[in-house]
Amino acid sequence: MANTAPSTSIALPDDPNVRGDIVLEDPIEGREALVRGDRDFHYITEAVCKGNEAPLLKTPSSFVFGLLLAFAGFLLFGGYVGWLFWEGPGIWGNNNPVSWAWDIVNFVFWVGIGHAGTLISAILYLFRQKWRMGVNRYAEAMTIFAVICAASCVVLHTGRIWLDYFLFPIPNQMQLWPNFRSPLEWDVFAVNTYFTVSLLFWFTGLVPDFATLRDRATVKWRQLFYGALALGWRGSARHWVTYEKAYQILAAFSAPLVLSVHSVVSFDFAVSQLPGWHTTIFPPYFVAGAIFGGFAMVQNLIIPARAWLGLKDIITIRHIENMNKIILLTGSLVGYAYGMEFFVAAYSGNEYEGFTFINRSFGPYWWAYWIMISCNVLSPQVFWFKKLRTNVYVAWVVAALVNTGMWFERFVICVTSLHRDALPSSWEYFVPRTEVLFLAGTFGLFLFLFLLFIRFFPVIAISEVKTILPQANPHWEGYGHAKGGH
């Protein structure tokens, strides 16, 4: 450790075309360092903790305003749930034949979003993708909150919400037992497993950082709060060995969930015999869509957050670019699946399949289909150009379009497949009634939880990011030495 001088603040522009001149390269791996600037370990701790350690009363008013706005959305959600309890699903536009509409659309939308978090935290971890360390904490938090939103959608869509315990194998005097042959029952277990494992994974990663906050605490409540969450972490070598093992095991648990959870969600549709749903490509198609939508949500959250929290040196434009590449890949996969659905319908020679897909793109819901195509397939194509995929504004707008498109994808799958059923006399054009409040409410819940997370939890994995600093490498001899200096 030749050079452990405190960081000098270098003004770093976000423009990637000049960054190469300023950013110090990783002298060991020969690549540009993941953390920009001449940063030391202490900088990471300070940069991440300062948001959490601001006194409560000195929370910036812009943040308080955002939190209040999200809280209003959360209250809207609570009020809507109360209304739904009281009135039942009659407040929705659902009816025969469109018996699944926004309730299921919102569920699939939210549960899909979670997948990017698990991919970043588990699969990229197992593949030793070090850039994940800057963004994994955000992404995992997003997973947890998105699954909470998804679970509330699916729990609330049953109508008689107080009977939801029927979903679980609990001994009861009615001798009711779940039907384990039903994909809806598989879904109950898939989502529960997903939530449990994601929560454990997130929490395990947080423990050393909670301990950092505990040790730095200057007021009693923070010491107690973070002390309780840190579970007595002292940072001994033995703790670290146990921690690394636990983290790897949980990563191994989580990795298959990235593929399995949304596959099971797709079975809700694919196992039925409805044209438009009964398709073998659904599992991979849904998983690609989930990762696609999830990364878009990460971008939507992280681009404003990194600017607002002053973490641009830790979540660099390179992170944004990497995620945009994944969005381009998965978006193109989803586009391939859209095309393949048409091919399968045509190749099968089944006139009902054929009708469903012609009707999907040129029938009464043509507008939803083409919103989906333009947002999901066309808009990410701009990321073929480096200049565009390294522009945060373009990245944010495309991510927002992708989120819109992915919501419409689920709408197209649910509603347009159902609204023309086998009896033309029951054909119906579904129109939502109050559902938009439901969707807005879940966004309120999501953002409220997310802003609380930003305020009280370390938003960057402090201990992990420190391991990717050049200084963490035992062979490091200070900037400029390894390669003979600049």
Closest CB 53 distance from other proteins, rounded Å: 17
Closest CB 54 distance from other proteins, rounded Å: 21
Of the candidates 3, 36, 27, which has an alpha carbon nearest to the alpha carbon of residue 483?
A: 27
Q: Out of 171, 349, 424, 485, which residue is the one contacting other proteins (CB under 8 A)?
A: 171
Of the candidates 247, 204, 145, which has an alpha carbon nearest to the alpha carbon of residue 451?
A: 145
Q: Out of 227, 294, 335, 441, which residue is the one contacting other proteins (CB under 8 A)?
A: 227
Could you say which residues in the range 229-288 bind other proteins, by CB under 8 A?
Answer: 231-232
Instruction: Tell me how far the alpha carbon of residue 63 is from its chain's centroid.
Output: 22
* Residues in CB range of 62: below 8 A, 6 or more apart: none
Residue 426 lies near other proteins (rule: CB under 8 A)? no
Distance CA 480, CA 268 (A): 57
Largest CA distance in the chain: 81
Closest CB 186 distance from other proteins, rounded Å: 18
Each residue 118-157 as x (binds other proteins by CB under 8 A) or -, in order, gives ----------------------------------------
Q: Out of 56, 176, 249, 431, which residue is the one contacting other proteins (CB under 8 A)?
A: 176
- Count the neighbouring beta carbons within 10 Å of the beta carbon of residue 391: 21
Q: Out of 172, 182, 272, 426, which residue is the one contacting other proteins (CB under 8 A)?
A: 172
Q: Out of 11, 174, 237, 423, which residue is the one contacting other proteins (CB under 8 A)?
A: 174
Q: Out of 3, 99, 204, 223, which residue is the one contacting other proteins (CB under 8 A)?
A: 223
Using an 8 Å Cβ cutoff, are 204 and 243 in contact? yes
Q: What is the DSSP string of 127-144?
A: TT-GGGGGTHHHHHHHHH
Distance CA 286, CA 270 (A): 11
Nearer to other proteins, 114 or 227 (CB): 227
Of the candidates 78, 50, 26, which has an alpha carbon nearest to the alpha carbon of residue 444?
A: 78
Of the candidates 39, 134, 126, which has an alpha carbon nearest to the alpha carbon of residue 465?
A: 134
The backbone torsions φ and ψ at residue 32, rounded to the nearest 5 degrees and listed phi first, read -60, 135
- Six-digit token string for 430: 């579904």
Query: Looking at the DSSP assignment, which residues form a beta bridge with residue 32?
Result: 25
Each residue 193-222 as x (binds other proteins by CB under 8 A) or -, in order, gives ---------------------x--------
Distance CA 161, CA 457 (A): 32
Three-state secondary structure call for residue 32: strand
Segment near other proteins (CB under 8 A); pick from 103-111, 164-172, 394-402, 449-457: 164-172
Closest CB 165 distance from other proteins, rounded Å: 9
Closest CB 176 distance from other proteins, rounded Å: 7
Segment near other proteins (CB under 8 A); pick from 14-22, 172-180, 324-332, 399-407: 172-180
Residue 310 lies near other proteins (rule: CB under 8 A)? no
**Which ranges of 23-60 does DSSP label H, i.e. alpha helix?**
41-53
Look at the block and give the residue holding tokens 């947080």: 206
Segment near other proteins (CB under 8 A); pick from 47-55, 167-175, 310-318, 343-351: 167-175
Residue 224 lies near other proteins (rule: CB under 8 A)? yes
Residue 170 lies near other proteins (rule: CB under 8 A)? yes
Could you say which residues in the range 31-70 bind other proteins, by CB under 8 A?
Answer: none
Nearer to other proteins, 80 or 201 (CB): 201
Closest CB 188 distance from other proteins, rounded Å: 17
Closest CB 195 distance from other proteins, rounded Å: 15
Q: How far is CA 114 from CA 5, 290, 291, 355, in A?
A: 40, 8, 8, 33
Q: Out of 228, 241, 346, 436, which residue is the one contacting other proteins (CB under 8 A)?
A: 228
Closest CB 98 distance from other proteins, rounded Å: 22
Total of residues contacting other proteins (CB under 8 A):
14
Segment near other proteins (CB under 8 A); pick from 120-128, 171-179, 293-301, 397-405: 171-179
Nearer to other proteins, 7 or 99 (CB): 99
Nearer to other proteins, 232 or 304 (CB): 232
Of the candidates 371, 378, 396, 309, which has an alpha carbon nearest to the alpha carbon of residue 47?
A: 309
Cα three-residue angle 80-81-85, rounded to 5 degrees: 115
Nearer to other proteins, 12 or 200 (CB): 200
Residue 358 lies near other proteins (rule: CB under 8 A)? no
Three-state secondary structure call for residue 469: coil
Q: How far is CA 285 from CA 63, 104, 250, 291, in A?
A: 38, 17, 26, 10
Nearer to other proteins, 89 or 380 (CB): 89
The backbone torsions φ and ψ at residue 457, rounded to the nearest 5 degrees and listed phi first, read -110, 150
Residues that bind other proteins (CB under 8 A): 170-176, 214, 223-224, 227-228, 231-232
